[in-house]
Amino acid sequence: MSKLFSYITKIILNPIALGILFIVSVLGGGLGSALGLGFISAPFAYISIPSETLYVFEGSKDNFLINFLNSAITNTLLMSLLTIVILLVVSIKATSKMKIIPSGIQNLIEFAIEAMYNTCKKIAGEEKGKIFFPLVMTIFLFVVISNWIGVLPGTGTIGRIESAEEYCHHQEKKDNLGHDVKFNIYKKNGNLSSTLFGFGSSQYKINSSDSSLFKHLDSKDKHSDYHGNEICSHDWLHHEFEDAKSLKAKELGVDNFDNNYQAGILVPFFRGSNSDINTTLALALCAMITIHWWGIKYLGLSGHFGKFINFKNGPINFFVGILELVGEFAKVISFTFRLFGNIFAGEVLLFAMAFLLPLIGIIPFIGLELFVGLIQGLIFSMLTLVFAAIATVSHNSDEH
Amino acid sequence: MDGDILNIGAGLAIGLGAIGPGIGIGLLGSKAMEAIGRNPEAAGPIQTNMILAIAFAEAIAIYALVVAILIKFV
């Protein structure tokens, strides 16, 4: 009897629970807020292509080291460091008590390394594969781990509210003001839950999706009229914000927003490091410079660059060489933008799904993003390997 | 008005630019499936080569993405 009961609960109650969850997520999310419901919906997250600044070093102009570090710590940089720490801890743990018959974490790492090692030897040959392997495996591990921890719930959603004044101050320091920014209205000095992206805005008295203030602040254009060189003045920003606030309040039929509200954007503490173009560009440059170094090492200086600037075999081969030279730069660009585009688009997709179907809509896409992260790591490392294998083979040996 | 046209241009750039690579990736996938069906033992190398070829086809969509980003932000 109890068995039958448990069957009934499994067959009937689970779909009912899922259905209730689905209905709540449809009605409570971004779709429902169009119908005046939307009780758990949040304003659509501000999507920023450059990574958000977490901390700016003061007095950065004097110190060379801090200048070198771009005078700011961004959330993607933090994520890269976290990736490195994870890889260090895992590899130390895997190699601390090595056994002849591996088990547990050692087994996993050995499997991954062996598979990649065999691929390297298969594609580049026994001897060169050994030399290419460290770079290829490093790129693979870094890209995959940073992609995977960038998908974890909490990245891109938990953060602090940076007020509009603070944002402009940071951008001013980086000489990076003049693009459009959409600020949302957040409650000032709220508790921790109001800084969480999903549920925070439901604490407002007015409907959350209405409380978001999508205000264009095209600071440079408007501002050069009044102040000449000075790009952003905080008074002006404050004035703009007050105007916009009263306008929005009038639109909603509320008396006014009190001083408990501030304009700002959410600055997430963590953001997938490959959604920053600087990270992927750095990876691409590392890979391509090392590939050319290998090319010089195996073919000699004239042998390697002779592929690109080739006067010997007539005009057609000269133009082919020039095309290949252009192709080398295109490789850097496609490396950079392939990884960046895939990871950034995945992040935007997760934002959109979290906005449309808050509780359950995101789950299948997290699975998709985990898969994409693995495939992108594989593509990056495999292309590095193949390009390296091509670069270390001279053209003459092809034509046999 | 200016911004609207820029937005449309960026959308068209990536939208039209993704058509060709989409067809190309579809062809690659279908041929790879066919090859695996004919010779299941060669599934491993076929998959590796297919992923590499898809990456090259995707690169063209990436150029469209670059153009779209340039239109939108520069």
User: Which CA distances in Å does A214 have to A181, A198, A241, A258?
Assistant: 9, 18, 11, 18
Closest Cα in chain A, distance from residue B55 (Å): 7
User: Which CA distances in Å does A74 have to A53, A54, A71, A258?
Assistant: 4, 5, 10, 32
Element (H, E) at A145: helix A126-149
Report the residue from B48, B58, B69 with minimal CB separation from A338: B58
Residue B40 CA to residue B46 CA, distance in Å, equals 10
Mutate to test the interface with B, among A123, A331, A339, A379 (most CBs of B within 10 A): A379
Question: Which residues, other chains included, contact A62 with Cβ-Cβ below 8 Å and sequence gap of 6+?
Answer: none
The structure tokens listed for A188 are: 């000032």
Dihedral sign of CA atoms B45, B46, B51, B52 in order: positive
Residue A336 CA to residue A66 CA, distance in Å, equals 25
Element (H, E) at A264: strand A261-268
Report the residue from B48, B65, B73 with minimal CB separation from A341: B65
Picking from A175, A266, A258, the residue whose alpha carbon sits closest to that of residue A220 is A175
Picking from A23, A26, A29, the residue whose alpha carbon sits closest to that of residue A199 is A29
Q: What is the distance, to the nearest Å, from the Cα of residue A387 to the centroid of all Cα atoms in its chain? A: 25
Assign B61 a pLDDT band (cuts: 50, 70, 90): confident
- Higher model confidence: residue B59 or residue A254? B59
Residue B59 CA to residue B17 CA, distance in Å, equals 11
Q: What is the pLDDT of residue A146?
A: 94
Q: What is the pLDDT of residue A208?
A: 26
**Is A53 in a helix, a strand, or coil?**
strand
Residue A31 CA to residue A46 CA, distance in Å, equals 18
A383 contacts B55? CB cut-off 8 A: yes
Element (H, E) at A263: strand A261-268
Q: Following DSSP, what letter does each residue of A161-177 receive, concatenated? A: EEEHHHHHHHHHHTT--
Question: Taking CA atoms, what residue in A is nearest to B64?
Answer: A337
The structure tokens listed for A361 are: 């809509």
Report the residue from B52, B59, B65 with minimal CB separation from A382: B52
Q: What is the pLDDT along chain A (400 residues), one digit of tens a residue?
A: 677 777 777 777 788 888 888 888 888 777 776 676 766 666 666 677 777 777 776 655 566 666 665 567 888 989 999 999 999 999 998 888 888 888 888 888 999 999 999 999 988 889 999 999 999 999 999 999 999 999 888 787 777 777 666 666 666 665 555 455 556 666 555 433 333 333 333 222 222 223 333 333 333 333 333 333 333 444 445 555 565 556 555 555 555 555 556 666 778 888 889 998 999 999 999 999 999 999 999 998 888 888 888 887 788 888 888 998 998 999 999 999 999 988 988 888 888 887 777 778 788 889 989 998 999 999 999 999 999 998 998 766 454 4
Q: What is the pLDDT of residue A102?
A: 81
The three-point CA angle B18-B22-B28 to 5° equals: 150
Report the residue from B52, B63, B69 with minimal CB separation from A383: B52
Question: Which residues, other chains included, contact A47 with Cβ-Cβ below 8 Å and sequence gap of 6+?
Answer: A348, A351
Mean pLDDT (whole number) for B54-70: 84
Closest Cα in chain A, distance from residue B57 (Å): 11
Mutate to test the interface with B, among A338, A342, A372 (most CBs of B within 10 A): A338
User: Which residue pairs from A229-235 have beta carbons closer than 8 angstroms and sit at least 24 positions apart in sequence?
Assistant: A231/A172, A231/A177, A231/A178, A232/A168, A232/A171, A232/A172, A232/A177, A234/A165, A234/A168, A234/A169
A385 near A132, Cβ under 8 Å? yes
Residue A116 CA to residue A382 CA, distance in Å, equals 9
Question: Which residues, other chains included, contact B11 with Cβ-Cβ below 8 Å and sequence gap of 6+?
Answer: B68
Q: What is the pLDDT of residue A148?
A: 94
B55 contacts A333? CB cut-off 8 A: no
Q: What is the pLDDT of residue A157?
A: 75
pLDDT (tens digit per residue) in B24-47: 999 999 999 999 999 999 888 888
Q: Number of A to B CB contacts under 8 A, please give it.
A: 33
Flag whether the ipTM exceeds 0.85: no
Strand-pair partners of A161: A266
Longest dimension (CA), chain B: 58
Strand-pair partners of A263: A185
pLDDT (tens digit per residue) in A299-309: 988 888 888 88
Please give the backbone phi and psi of residue B59, each rounded to the nearest 5 degrees, phi first.
Answer: -55, -30
Question: Taking CA atoms, what residue in A is nearest to B55?
Answer: A379
